[in-house]
A and B are shown apart, each in its own frame.
Chain A
Amino acid sequence: MLSMTGVCAVVAVCVLFFILGYLVYHGGTSISWNFFTRLPAPVGEPGGGMANAIVGSAKLLFLATLIGVPVGFFGAIYLAEFSGTATAFIVRYAADLLNGVPSIVIGIFAYSLAVLPFKHFSTFAGGFALGLMMIPITLRSTEEFLRSVPISLREGAMALGAGKWKTIATVIVPSAYRGILTTILLAFARVAGETAPLLFTALGNRFWSPGWSQPTASLPVAIYNYAISPYEDWHRQAWAAGLVLLALILIINIVARGILARSVSVSRS
């Protein structure tokens, strides 16, 4: 019976290698320099790329980080350092609730807050939706890392006459920075692949999207639209985009875990 459980584990891991292998195989043959530098070509015309979607994704993620990281980071400082138990419970509960909300519902929420009042889809609305998703992830694990800073460090700083804020800024946050960096990277990787919240906030765009107030293309939405299209050429583009997106996300994940693993080994030695 025990060997059966081993089979289960092997099957699960094989799925990952299969996904990777298949994406590399299909995406690798479809990817080209044009993919990174050109706009999408009209239907039926070969060539063309997804430069606008790559830039669009970068802009969306920039906005998301701008919203998600400060709220999550400072909120976590409040939870770990300042708040009483009752307040902390409410904030944590709200964050957990927000974390469990399906991404498509986040999309509806962002639509009614950032699209309806302005009467048009925009880069801003998409970034807002992704930022909302980053908040609870950043908040909860940053708090964990802040709490894991040994109490002796705090006491040492206070004994030297540092105020609370000075202790936080010069002792606690610097000694937890690897953990916090990992958290932010993982949250970033998590929202980088999100599609559902962008469908009716950032919408999509076949052309460049100047500024922040127009609909923009993004890699995940482009993959979705191209994959469900009937054109062979678009399917190839979808594979290429999938490879680029997955590579980005997996690399960030591996780097983030590497940072954390090093901090663990440092604190153990």
Chain B
Amino acid sequence: MATTTTIVPSGGPVAGSRSFLSRLRDGDEIARLITFLFAASVVLITALLVYELWQGSALPRHQFGLNFFRTSVWDPVFDQFGALPFIYGTLVTSAVALLIAVPLGIGAAIFLAELAPLRLSDTLEFFIDLLAAVPSVIYGLLGIFIVVPLMRNGIQPQLKQYLGFLPLFKGPAYGLGFLTAGVVLAIMIIPYIISVSREILLSVPRDQREAALALGSTRWESTWKVVVPFARTGIIGSVFLALARALGETMAVTMVIGNTPVISPSLLSPGDSIASVIASQFKEATGELYTQSLIELGLVLFLLTFILNGLARLMIVITSQRGSGTGLA
């Protein structure tokens, strides 16, 4: 076969020194071919995924073009599909989530990496890893039965009373809506921010801290003015990673966002997000255009998370390489 013959010369130094026949007898070439097929299937699946999303959304792409992203009417009965309310909902809920999760997550990461004794830090990290393993439908369950009533009866009336003059907090307090979805999302992404940021902070070379302390800075100053700036790129990377999670998060958001495709400046208003509209409507979607419009939303979501994940990984790699580089010097 063509693949085997092309692969032979690229064998490792040890394998290359023996004849092709003896390697075939030992099963080396067969093993290579079999494992190659499995590895290649990963590439194939990923390529097929992109192809299916692109192909599956051909109809709305031709019919609506860029208007798909500019119109806010989502009316399956009259075959009018505009993605704006869902994109808006995804962005707003993710923004709320980041606003809550970033200070809390980075604060906790600083504590775990800088202040806590190693034993305590490892124990807490263990629990935080477990927190990251809790499935999103469980967060949704808690969201519906705890966060929503709490929002409706406690927090949202308070917000309306004291901050009601802002357009952000106008309208009736349903409990379901952007704010609630953002809060639940925040709870879900905090563990990711903590885990990755802690790793990044721990990789900051020791001499950076010692130099700051030797110059007479306090513990907090050395942390805040030296260690954190050193790790800044990586921490931003961890935030991007969490943001990608938040954008693609489906179940918990679907259960608490209210599933109404409206664009409202008020955080108390019910809304809808890209992932949640797919989750709640795909099964019942009738007609090619309807289904394909939902698939195009999936494509948008895929591209968003793809870009964010790429950026995040790049930033984390840059920071940890910088850390190890200066650590050696």
Contact = CB atoms under 8 A, between A and B. Distances in A.
- Determine chain B's interface SS by DSSP, over half rule: helix
Contacts of B306: 97, 100-101
Given A164-B31, A196-B275, A220-B137, A228 B39 contact: no
- The winner among B46, B247, B294 for most chain A CB atoms within 10 A is B46
B298 A75 contact: no
B130 interface: yes
Given A15-B187, A70-B38, A136-B42, A8 B111 contact: yes
B223 to A, nearest CB: 7
A96 B306 CA distance: 10
Interface string A180-218: 000000000110111110011001000000000000000
A149 interface: no
Interface residues of A, number: 86
Interface string B236-275: 0000000010011111001100000000000000000001
Contacts of A26: 145
Interface string A240-256: 00100110011001100
A52 B191 CA distance: 33
B56 A100 contact: no
Interface stretch (A31-39, A43-51, A58-66, A77-85): A77-85
Contacts of B251: 195-196, 220, 224
Contacts of B131: 12-13, 15-16, 19
Interface of A, secondary structure class, is helix
A135 B108 CA distance: 32
A35 B263 CA distance: 42
Contacts of B294: 108
Given A16-B130, A75-B35, A165 B28 contact: yes
20 contacts: A12-B105, A12-B191, A15-B131, A23-B142, A70-B38, A75-B39, A94-B42, A95-B42, A101-B305, A102-B248, A105-B302, A163-B23, A164-B15, A165-B30, A195-B251, A196-B251, A242-B141, A246-B135, A250-B130, A257-B126
Interface of A: 1-2, 4-9, 11-13, 15-16, 19, 22-23, 26, 70-71, 73-75, 77-79, 81-84, 87, 90-91, 94-98, 100-109, 111-113, 132, 135-136, 139, 158, 163-166, 168, 189-190, 192-196, 199-200, 203, 220, 223-224, 227-228, 235, 238-239, 242, 245-246, 249-250, 253-254, 257
Interface of B: 10, 12, 14-15, 23, 26-28, 30-32, 34-36, 38-43, 45-49, 52-53, 56, 103-108, 110-112, 114-116, 124, 126-131, 133-138, 140-142, 144-146, 187, 190-191, 194, 219-220, 223-224, 244, 247-251, 254-255, 275, 278-279, 282-283, 294-295, 298, 301-302, 305-306, 309, 313
